[in-house]
């Protein structure tokens, strides 16, 4: 990639919104033109009648990315699932891919133990119907377990408006159902995988498996939980610079 400032298109995770990236974007602004995007039902966006629909969301993302002229697409957690699917389906539209604590398959399968159990997602879905804010608190606690720096950064998110429960339920269903492993293949642009070593949602072994399936990709492990861009912003920024800039 040239030394011109690349465009960075950021996708947030489940129950979050694009402003989760705001502190980090301030640090990245000198190197990247940053644009973040809210999933349907999140960040004040209405949840459409079809909910958080996989195909509709990918088509909307296709249009947004196409308008940016081959950006680097960055996805965190559920946002990474969308980013990876976008890269696999429309590789000609991207100039790079960054996956932060994400996975091609978020739920355990017989041949994929490096994930959440289906019962854990069932519990989140059941509790969401009773008390959405309590579920988000518990999910945030899980994300930041063993990572006090990220916990402090995420504390403000507790006060944000809760995303639409219909779209939250759809997001859990996508995490349960989607398995992109059969589609994985080398991609024609730089791919960076950032992974917290203490992540309780996406184990580091899942990131290693993902790297091996995306031949030529780069994996960087960080002493962090599920949100290393909050707890270790400079290390994450430097990883982006070294991947998408060259002399």
pLDDT tens digits for range 37-49: 999 999 999 999 9
* pLDDT score for 246: 62
Q: Which of 199, 217, 231, 232 is catalytic?
A: 199
When divided into structural domains, the chain yields a total of 1
Judge contact between 97 and 187, C-beta under 8 A.
yes
Q: Round to whole Å and give the CA distance between 153 and 245.
A: 28
Q: What is the mean pLDDT of residues 222-245?
A: 94
Handedness of CA 153, 154, 159, 160 (dihedral sign): positive
Residue 27: count of CB within 10 angstroms of its CB = 15
* pLDDT score for 228: 94
Task: Check residues 2 and 96 and name the one with the higher pLDDT.
Answer: 96
pLDDT band of 1, cuts 50, 70, 90: very low
What is residue 120's three-state secondary structure?
A: helix
Note if 226 is an active site residue.
yes
Domain with 151, as residue range(s), is 7-244
Residue 202 lies in a domain: yes
* pLDDT score for 3: 56
pTM of structure: 0.93
* Residue 100 scores a pLDDT above 80: yes
CA 105 from centre of chain? 13
The CATH number of the domain where 143 resides is what? 3.40.50.1820
* Residue 146 scores a pLDDT above 90: no
Q: Which of 77, 102, 217, 231 is catalytic?
A: 77
Task: Check residues 126 and 56 and name the one with the higher pLDDT.
Answer: 56
* Residue 24 scores a pLDDT above 90: yes
Q: Which of 147, 226, 231, 232 is catalytic?
A: 226
* Residue 131 scores a pLDDT above 90: no
Q: Round to whole Å and give the CA distance between 200 and 141.
A: 10
Note if 69 is an active site residue.
no
Q: Round to whole Å and give the CA distance between 208 and 220.
A: 10
Residue 1 lies in a domain: no
Residue-wise burial string across 125-149, b where 16 or more C-beta atoms lie within 10 A, e elsewhere: beebeeebeebbeebbebbbbebeb
Note if 77 is an active site residue.
yes
pLDDT band of 247, cuts 50, 70, 90: very low
Share of the chain above pLDDT 70, in %: 97
């Amino acid at each position: 990639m040239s030394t011109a400032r690349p465009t960075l298109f950021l996708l947030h995770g489940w129950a979050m919104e694009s402003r989760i990236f705001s502190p980090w974007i301030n640090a990245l602004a000198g190197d990247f033109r940053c644009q973040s995007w809210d999933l349907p039902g999140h960040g004040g966006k209405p949840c459409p009648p079809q909910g958080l629909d996989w195909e509709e969301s990918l088509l909307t993302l296709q249009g947004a990315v196409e308008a940016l002229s081959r950006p680097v697409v960055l996805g965190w957690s559920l946002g990474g699932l969308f980013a990876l699917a976008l890269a696999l389906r429309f590789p000609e539209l991207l100039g790079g891919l960054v996956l932060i604590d994400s996975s091609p398959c978020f739920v355990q399968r017989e041949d994929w133990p490096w994930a959440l159990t289906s019962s854990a997602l069932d519990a989140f879905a059941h509790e969401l119907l009773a008390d959405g804010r309590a579920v988000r608190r518990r999910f945030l606690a899980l994300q930041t377990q063993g990572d006090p720096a990220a916990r402090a950064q995420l504390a403000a998110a507790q006060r944000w408006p809760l995303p639409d429960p219909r779209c939250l339920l759809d997001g859990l269903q996508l995490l349960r159902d989607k398995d992109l492993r059969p589609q994985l293949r080398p991609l024609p642009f730089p791919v960076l995988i950032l992974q917290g070593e203490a992540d309780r949602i996406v184990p580091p072994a899942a990131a290693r498996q993902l790297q091996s399936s995306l031949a030529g990709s780069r994996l960087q492990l960080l002493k962090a939980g599920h949100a290393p861009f909050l707890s270790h912003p400079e290390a994450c920024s430097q990883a982006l610079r070294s991947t998408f800039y060259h002399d």
